[in-house]
Amino acid sequence: MKDVIISTEAVNSYGSRVLTSGIDLSQYERNPVLLWMHRRSWEPGAMPIGKVENLRIEDGRLIGTPVFDQNDDFAKQIESKWDNGFLRMASAGLEPMETTPDPALVLPGQTRETVTRCKLVEVSIVDIGGNDEALQLYGQEGKLLKLAAGEDNPGLPLLQLKKGTKPEPGDEAGEGEEINNNQNQTTAMNKEQLTLLGLPDGASDEQATAALQLMKMRADKVEALQLAAVTQCVDQAIAERKILAAQRDHYIQLGKAAGADMLTDTFKTMPAQVKPTDILRLSKESAPGSGKGPGSYTKLSEVPREELLALRKEQPAEYMRLYKAEYGCDCPPLSE
């Protein structure tokens, strides 16, 4: 069984960080549930896939060992991908209880307060985490905190920039006024942009840069998820012999433009390619004495090519039955 780092004290994709020493493990240790992608039981098809054992804190990191339910087929699928390195990230569901804007705890790139005390609610296996530590936070009553740009939540507030002060006595008033005027002008010009980034008026350049980096990171991860879905769809079509392996790159580019759903719908309308050896085999099986005849086929690929047209015209119900058995979906309406 492989251990996994569940959380560290690095800045996460929400622009915050969690102090590992402040994570309360007592409740979770009584119910060490392991979920898939933070899906809870009220979501269709969502059930725990296992538990986490050997939960511990080492060198500021929260570590545990996922144990998968051997009586759950879906959990065993996730375990297989975990053991073979296709899934490598876990994510902690945390309920913040105390945060602080203390500058001594702020790291470069941090835009939200530091979580000093929180409660571990659940641990999930995830495909792509919100950051290197795959951290997901929960707010009051188990509700997910929405920390995207343009949104705020008192459970994890933004760091507030200190307002500028007037020049000390003895400074040149003119120079001080010019600096303040320039700051006011810059704030006025960028107020709309700061609002879109979810930052308060007067946010520093460092906070704006960190927010932009966060938005880019999220966009990159969405793009990576979409590409993974498209690639899986194309590879499935190749396995089902609906397209050739040489066409893989072409269809991946098509899926990136049209989307995985559109590509999936397209492949559903495409019949599997039949090899010449399959045709010879089917012809042999349907020859006199082979025992094959109308009504004895179990799927469309078993029907000899020379019989397909007649079957389609003369026995449409049988043709549609064999089509569904072959492709797992209803046959499109038959045209004359």
Which of 60-64, 151-155, 238-242, 244-248 shows the lowest mean pLDDT across its residues?
Answer: 151-155
> Band of the pLDDT at 161, cuts 50, 70, 90?
low
Residue 28: predicted pLDDT: 92
Q: Mind listing the pLDDT tens digit for each residue in 1-53?
A: 678 888 888 888 778 888 999 999 998 999 999 988 888 765 655 788 899 99
Residue 50: predicted pLDDT: 92
Q: Is the separation of the CB atoms in 32 and 6 below 8 Å?
A: no
Looking at residue 141, the DSSP 8-state letter turns out to be: G
> Band of the pLDDT at 336, cuts 50, 70, 90?
low
Amino acid identity of residue 291, one-letter, is G
Residue 171: predicted pLDDT: 43
| 308: three-class secondary structure by DSSP | helix
Residue 255: predicted pLDDT: 85
Q: Based on C-alpha coordinates, what's the Rg of the chain?
A: 29
Residue 225: predicted pLDDT: 84
User: How many beta carbons lie within 10 A of that of residue 192, not counting itself?
Assistant: 9
Q: Mind listing the pLDDT tens digit for each residue in 265-309?
A: 888 888 877 666 555 555 555 554 444 555 678 888 888 888 888
Residues 6+ apart with CB under 8 A from 46: 35, 36, 39, 40
Residues 6+ apart with CB under 8 A from 96: 115, 117, 118, 137, 138, 139, 145, 155, 156
